[in-house]
Structure 1
Amino acid sequence: MDRAQVAEGLTRFLAARTGGEVRVENLARLSGGASRETWAFDAETPQGRLEGILRADPVPDAPTIPGRELEYHLIRAAWDAGVRVPEPLWDGDDTFPVKFFVMRRVPGETLGARLIRGEQYARAREVVPFQLAQDLARIHAIREAEHPELAALERPPAGKSSAEAQLDYYENNYRTSGLDPHPVFELAIRWLRQHLPQPCEPVLVHGDFRLGNFIFDETGVRAILDWELAHWGDPMEDLGWLAVKSWRFGGKRPIAGVGDREAFIEAYEAAGGKQVNRQHFLWYEMFGNLKWGVITMTQAGTYLSGRNRSVELAAIGRRTAETEIVLLDLLEGRLD
């Protein structure tokens, strides 16, 4: 959608929702990938000034995951559960030819390296791990029986645990990539097959819970973002992914670069999260590093094939070796 179309439609939509004349200002499209459009705006409304975000599908009837309507319901369920998320204000209607919703804008920062290094974030570094543990426990407390609107989210196929289904998916991606073999990945896959955790009751899993996907300021976490990979699965998946070394952005501690495993686990359990089996956690930390390694490898393949000559893909492709080093450490029982 172009700026004029968004401005006109958004003005009409907000006027209908707030009961009077609306003036939209400072409308600007934000970066955020091809799978969605994100527009920031300010608006003067009969209910006061609104600093908002419009999230929309890119083109009519385009299949997106999870889709804007489902994304709205995800954020609404998280908001109702007490998770730090942007306040979801209104689900969309037929104002635009695409699915959309409006939420309140949250000020702050998302760049992980700034949390790790910024002097102004010293206090935030102390509290972020505990805030993340609270938010994760609240996300995992959301149940499908209480939120039937989330039934369309992906889930493990019948007869397979979430862990096995996830491992199958990424092993298949690795083996069909057509790129050079990676013996370390072979060792990791073998270990993961031999140590599959027991199946558990599926809960809502964020799917990309990590540093870089939440807004923070000097006080700590302000809002959890990026719900595109949410699904029903094993809660330990989120814990293991948060500990993946690549998501520490140079930080020396395992949880988002600023927290320790045991303190985080204790905070997660104290906030109502499932009791954490350390081997279960380790399985998903190992799997998370393998998963990211396979992603880096396949993105390098996309660049090398010429399908997409993005320099970003090439740079990500150079990081495969980093994940192999981490996997070797984990296989040897060396945690950092």
Structure 2
Amino acid sequence: MGEIESAHALEQGLGKALARVGLAPPTGLARLTGGATMESWRFSSGSDGFVLRRAPSLAFMQGRPFGHASEAAIIRAAHDAGVTAPEVIVELRPDDGIGSGFVMRALPGTPDPRAILAMEKPERLLREAARNLARIHVLRPQALPEDLPEMDYGEAVEGLAGQFEEAGRDRPIVALGLRWLRENLPERVEPVLNHGDFRLGNLLAEDSHLTGVLDWELAHFGDRHEDLAYGCMAVWRFSRVDRPALGLGALQDYVAAYEAESGMRVDAGRFRYWLVYRTVWWALGCLRNANMWRSGEDRMLERVVISRRTSEQELDLLLLLEEDAPEEEQARRIPPANDPLEAEGEASVGEIATAVAEWLSTIKDSVEGHDRFQLAVARNALGMIARNDVVGIHGEDAMLALDLLDGEVSLATPGLLAMLRRAALDKLAADVPKYPMLALARAKWTGEE
């Protein structure tokens, strides 16, 4: 399965699937870049373009709430209801010999967030995204697969706590978030269909118009505010942290367009809850990528790099929760940063990583497609090693995390917020120094530009 399959085997299996719906064998099969969860392959059949979406392995599908057949059925229902979703053509079968997945008709546009953010009319894109989300939320259960799960809020939070335990429970800021989620658990509301991953990166756009809503594998029934909040996380705004709604515009404009289409009011308190929830969720999701790599479940290089993006979510989480701290703690100065360690003697691990990254940069023009993407990921990984080596970043305090989780200490504890701010800045500066929220947080907390 996955990376070890030959292009010939993939073409043969795909040809079998296409033949079932009267389409010609595939040509021009090429792996699309990105896709840390599922694989995407672009190809032609006759004069038309299509995309194969499939799992990297059959083992990868084990334990998931539903399979590709149900995902395809959800997309079909959304497409029929006027959502800008792809047209599903055919699902893979076991005798196709190429695993689990389905084929969709290719849509125009780009999923590249930076290209989308550069379009001339982001406010129009924002309104179209809001209207699409509202249409998703009115899809009735009768039109959807029976195995689509409903989120139990309390169980979901405890599931995150279980992931935290498995990940070593040594991240104090994540522990702080888990404690807050338990203390502020909202009452259940009538559930709606949630897309589950409605954000830039999973939306296609062209000429300032939304042309596609992709990646429905996390769909479930739950609170509409979870879907609304998720796309507004800082991480999904990419370079436009000044635009709170999907990186495209003002939150009030997003909410107004959603309310006009859905006829439902958006509750600010529930929105904030799910913003915190999803930030903790993604922090733990990043950590889980490391275990997926360690276990051999998926040895893609992206897994280990994504695991280090936990520090992005920790900083964002602290920015979300610090407003609950007493004013005197919010105003307290944070400790200074540690001075960089000076290297002596033989080359350090970080220096070796830097040397390899520099060499990789000399060959980047000789590779293309998914290999070029992987080369960029490798250079990012080496940069993480080098920066952590220079500043001497150490692991988080497991005892502090436990105290925060148990409520023994809190943001009211003198000096704790200042210490957590310093730790978040230092860790993120080593892991992902170009993360846009880092500059914002540094200016807010230290006064440095």
TM-score, length of structure 1 as denominator length: 0.81
Q: Secondary structure at the match of 2:221?
A: strand
1:261-272 equivalence runs, <5 A: 261-272=251-262
Check whether the contact 1:79–1:85 (CA below 8 A) recurs between aligned residues.
yes
User: Is 1:138 aligned with 2:135?
Assistant: yes
User: In the aligned structure 1, how far is the partner of 2:17 from the partner of 2:297?
Assistant: 39
1:72 match: 72
2:239 match: 250
1:159 match: none
User: In the aligned structure 2, how far is the partner of 1:301 from the partner of 1:8?
Assistant: 33
2:265 match: 275
User: In the aligned structure 2, how far is the partner of 1:256 from the partner of 1:207?
Assistant: 14
Give the Å deviation of 1:68.
Answer: 2.0
Letter in 2 for 1:106: L
The percent identity for this pair of structures is: 34
Give the Å deviation of 1:168.
Answer: 1.4
User: Is 1:290 aligned with 2:280?
Assistant: yes
Give the Å deviation of 1:56.
Answer: 4.0
User: In the aligned structure 1, how far is the partner of 2:267 from the partner of 2:60?
Assistant: 41
Is the deviation greater in 237-246 or in 297-306?
Answer: 297-306
CA-to-partner distance for each residue in 1:80-128, whole Å, 9 max, x for gaps? 1111111223345576144443221113222223323x3xx122x2222
Counterparts in 2 of 1:236 and 1:27: CA distance versus 1, 3 Å: same
Check whether the contact 1:34–1:58 (CA below 8 A) recurs between aligned residues.
no
1:93-108 equivalence runs, <5 A: 96-97=96-97, 98-108=99-109
User: In the aligned structure 1, how far is the partner of 2:114 from the partner of 2:228?
Assistant: 20
Check whether the contact 1:213–1:224 (CA below 8 A) recurs between aligned residues.
yes
Give the Å deviation of 1:140.
Answer: 1.0
Counterparts in 2 of 1:33 and 1:195: CA distance versus 1, 3 Å: same
Check whether the contact 2:50–2:104 (CA below 8 A) recurs between aligned residues.
yes
Counterparts in 2 of 1:163 and 1:331: CA distance versus 1, 3 Å: same
Counterparts in 2 of 1:89 and 1:309: CA distance versus 1, 3 Å: closer
Counterparts in 2 of 1:280 and 1:134: CA distance versus 1, 3 Å: same
CA-to-partner distance for each residue in 1:104-161, whole Å, 9 max, x for gaps? 1113222223323x3xx122x22221111111111111121233xx1112223xxxxx
User: Is 1:323 aligned with 2:308?
Assistant: no
2:170 match: 180
Counterparts in 2 of 1:70 and 1:298: CA distance versus 1, 3 Å: closer
Counterparts in 2 of 1:169 and 1:95: CA distance versus 1, 3 Å: same
1:230 match: 219
More helix by share: 2
User: In the aligned structure 2, how far is the partner of 1:62 from the partner of 1:314?
Assistant: 17
1:83 match: 83
User: Is 1:219 aligned with 2:217?
Assistant: no
User: In the aligned structure 2, how far is the partner of 1:105 from the partner of 1:59?
Assistant: 23
Is the deviation greater in 324-333 or in 234-243?
Answer: 324-333
How many pairs align?
A: 317
Counterparts in 2 of 1:87 and 1:69: CA distance versus 1, 3 Å: same
Letter in 2 for 1:50: D
Give the Å deviation of 1:33.
Answer: 5.3
Q: Secondary structure at the match of 2:75?
A: helix
Pick from 134, 137, 153 the counterpart of residue 163 of structure 1: 153
User: In the aligned structure 2, how far is the partner of 1:93 from the partner of 1:246?
Assistant: 36
Is the deviation greater in 87-96 or in 254-263?
Answer: 87-96
Letter in 2 for 1:199: R
CA-to-partner distance for each residue in 1:247-271, whole Å, 9 max, x for gaps? 1112121111122111111111111
Give the Å deviation of 1:61.
Answer: 8.4
Counterparts in 2 of 1:62 and 1:290: CA distance versus 1, 3 Å: closer
User: In the aligned structure 2, how far is the partner of 1:304 from the partner of 1:22?
Assistant: 40
Greater C-alpha Rg: 2
For structure 2, the residue ranges without an aligned partner over 5 or more in a row are: 325-439, 441-449
Q: Secondary structure at the match of 1:262?
A: helix
TM-score, length of structure 2 as denominator length: 0.62
Counterparts in 2 of 1:2 and 1:37: CA distance versus 1, 3 Å: farther
1:53 match: 51
Q: Secondary structure at the match of 2:200?
A: coil
User: In the aligned structure 1, how far is the partner of 2:235 from the partner of 2:116?
Assistant: 15
Give the Å deviation of 1:75.
Answer: 0.8
Q: Secondary structure at the match of 1:17?
A: coil
Q: Secondary structure at the match of 1:271?
A: helix
Pick from 23, 43, 46 the counterpart of residue 45 of structure 2: 43
Counterparts in 2 of 1:294 and 1:58: CA distance versus 1, 3 Å: closer
Q: Secondary structure at the match of 1:154?
A: coil
Letter in 1 for 2:53: R
Q: Secondary structure at the match of 2:190?
A: coil
Letter in 2 for 1:154: P
